Structure formats: C-alpha cells, structure tokens
Amino acid sequence: MSTPTSFFDYHLPKELIAQSSIEPRDHSRLMLIDRKTGRWQHKLFYEILHELYGGDVLVMNNTKVFRARLQAVVHGRRIELFLLRPREDGVWDALVKPGKYVNVGDIVELGEIQGDVLSKTDVVRIRFNQSDTQVIEYANAHGEIPIPPYVEEIPSRLDQYQTVYAQETGSVAAPTAGFHFTKELLEKIQEKGIEIHYVTLHVGLGTFRPMKSPTIEEHQMHSEFVSIDPSVAQAINQAKEEGRRVIAVGTTTVRTLEGVAAQDADMRISNVIPVLPSKGFSGDINIFITPGFRFRVVDALITNFHLPKSTLLVLVSAFAGRERMLAAYQEAVDQNYRFFSFGDAMFLYGKDEIHG
C-alpha cells in the first residue's frame, strides 16, 4: 500500500522561516516531545542539559561544509556549478544551472581547473584535472556558502553555517540540528558523565533533495558517504548492551547509525547485539526511513523543524508517529517557533508505542 507524499504536508507562514541562528546558539527554543504520551513542553535549548543523564551516549555528525556553489564557464557561457560529492579522486557529481548549456564531452572551466563532462542525468559527472583536495581548496577560496534557497542572505563567514564541532570536510549542507550546541554546553554535557561520539555523513542530495513524486515509495534516495570509527561503533554497541540511551543529534546521524545497522540486518537475529559492526564502517548508504521502520540503534533524537513534504519530516514521523509530529508542528507554528536550518529544535524521547 502506497503512502501519498501529501500526508507529510503542513502550512508554514513564511515569516517563521529563520534567516540566521539565535546568538548565543544554545538560547534557541526547544520543544520536548514524549513519544509515548505525545505530550510536549516548551524550553530553551540549553535546558537540554536537564534531559540528559549520566551514561547517555550523544552521537553527532562532524561533517564540515565547504563553499560548494561556484561560477564556472562552458563554451564561453557562465554557469553555476554546485559540487555535490567526489566519486573517485578528481571525479565529482554536480548540479548545473542552466543544465541545457552542459553536455557530455564538454569542458568545464573553474579558473585554472578544467573538467571533462563524463555523464549527464539528474546530476552531471565531471573529471577534473586536479585532486579532490585541490578542488575543495579552490571552492573554499572562490565559491559561495551553499545555503538553502529559503535563506535570503548568504552568511559572510563559513562558520555561521557550521557546527562548532565540524571536522571532516565534505558536506554541501550543514547538519543543522548541531547548530544549537556551543562549546560551553558540550563541556557541561561531558561533565555530567554523558558520552559524546562523532560519526560522519557528508550531506548531499540524499538529505536535501525534495520529494516530487506523488507517493513516498516512488522517491529515489541518492547515496551519501558515511563513516563510523571502530571505537565509536564499539562504544554504541556497549551502550545498547547495557540498556543506556543512544541519542542522535540530527537526522543525518540517525541515517548513518540506522543505515549501517541495516546493512546486514537481514542476516541477524532481530534483537541481536551488537547492532553495529565492531570494525566500523566506511562507504555509501542511501537509506530512506519511512513509517514502519524498525529503529535498532537510536533511542532519542534532537532535530530541527523540517520542510513540508521532505524526507526528513518522513523520518521523524517514522520515529514518533505522523499524526503526533504534525500536531507538534502545528503547535510550533502557533507558538511562533523558528523553522528550518537556522530555526529551533525538538527533542524526541521516550519509548513509542509502536517500536517500544
């Protein structure tokens, strides 16, 4: 039975779309939502400290955004080249605007860097004459910060569209649930005996591409690169074995953990521990988490308020229930919460009635 994409729509007044982060960032608003009862509370984000307990494991995506939006030239015409991800050294997937100016065999010029167009589908694949590192260095020197289209003014500094713990360069969009954490708040969390671990998902089309199909089952997820260090996998496995909570910061972290756990889930007994391969993982995932999904790793989720009819809203609906989420979103609208990348947050906790 198919699920209409329209089931994940809601009305949002334009004035509630946040254009920049609150300063300090941990003073954004926070909606606490109990997945079992559906009850919510309104807090400020720094009060998350009172909702976390010694022994909890907080998992964050440490990917780092680069200036992926570039001006390039093809046949003397200017185009916008939006770098998405490297496929192998020097070979990149990208979006092109206007796409009609670029065809297979064309030469794309980025200053001193040139690239051959290898293929063209919904994305363009280009082989540059320089390494990935050199392409990223050029992009950070000459490109624009790849902010979402609903943000009207490009930030002047890259750190304004970056988490304070960003480390691994490779994203074309920030894992924005992490925006709310300051270095001081992270220190207080650790002092409380809460473990903090980092995974990597380089955000690309799989995260931000909108659903345009009439049903969610018809939506095609693009793969994204993820990495989980063996020590992190083992720490999470130990927490699950001991019954301690694994709390994901952001939907990209959920997709990393659950995507890796699902890689060989069919070969496992349903409740087997460890849930993650002890040797860690490095590679692509394209998991689309929809209602009915069985969460094996994540017990609670810190996330922002997502776009209507987005795969991210589908994911949080799978985690806490569609009707419950849409009711919470309506409450957030009524209470003038700030939405999307630079907006406010919610903390989904407790065992839900479906997944237990």
Give the pLDDT of residue 100: 92
Length of the chain: 356
Quick one: 112 exposed, middle or buried, by C-beta within 10 A (0-12, 13-18, 19+)?
exposed
User: DSSP characters for 67-89?
Assistant: --EEEEEETTEEEEEEEEEEEET
Boundary residue ending a domain (142, 174, 204):
142
Domain that holds residue 76: 69-142
Measured between alpha carbons, how far is 317 from 326 in angstroms, rounded to an integer? 8
Sequence-ordered list of residues with C-beta below 8 angstroms from that of 89, at least 6 positions apart, any chain: 131, 132
Boundary residue ending a domain (77, 112, 142):
142
Does 150 reside within a domain? Answer: no
Does 39 reside within a domain? Answer: yes
**Total domains in the fold of the chain:** 2
Based on the fold, state whether residues 192 and 285 are members of the same structural domain: yes
Based on the fold, state whether residues 134 and 243 are members of the same structural domain: no
Give the pLDDT of residue 355: 44
Based on the fold, state whether residues 318 and 262 are members of the same structural domain: yes
The whole-number mean pLDDT for each consecutive block of 10 residues of the chain, a chain of 356 residues, reads: 95 98 97 94 98 97 98 96 94 95 96 96 96 96 95 94 98 97 98 98 89 95 95 97 97 97 64 80 96 96 98 98 97 98 97 52
Give the pLDDT of residue 351: 77
Does 203 reside within a domain? Answer: yes
Based on the fold, state whether residues 312 and 252 are members of the same structural domain: yes
Give the pLDDT of residue 267: 47
Based on the fold, state whether residues 49 and 130 are members of the same structural domain: no
Based on the fold, state whether residues 30 and 102 are members of the same structural domain: no
- Quick check: 256 and 274 in contact, CB under 8 A? no
Does 273 reside within a domain? Answer: yes
* Helical axes 311-320 vs 322-334, angle rounded to 10°: 110
User: What's 338's domain CATH number?
Assistant: 3.40.1780.10
Give the pLDDT of residue 21: 96
User: What's 101's domain CATH number?
Assistant: 2.40.10.240
What 3-state class would DSSP assign to 136? helix
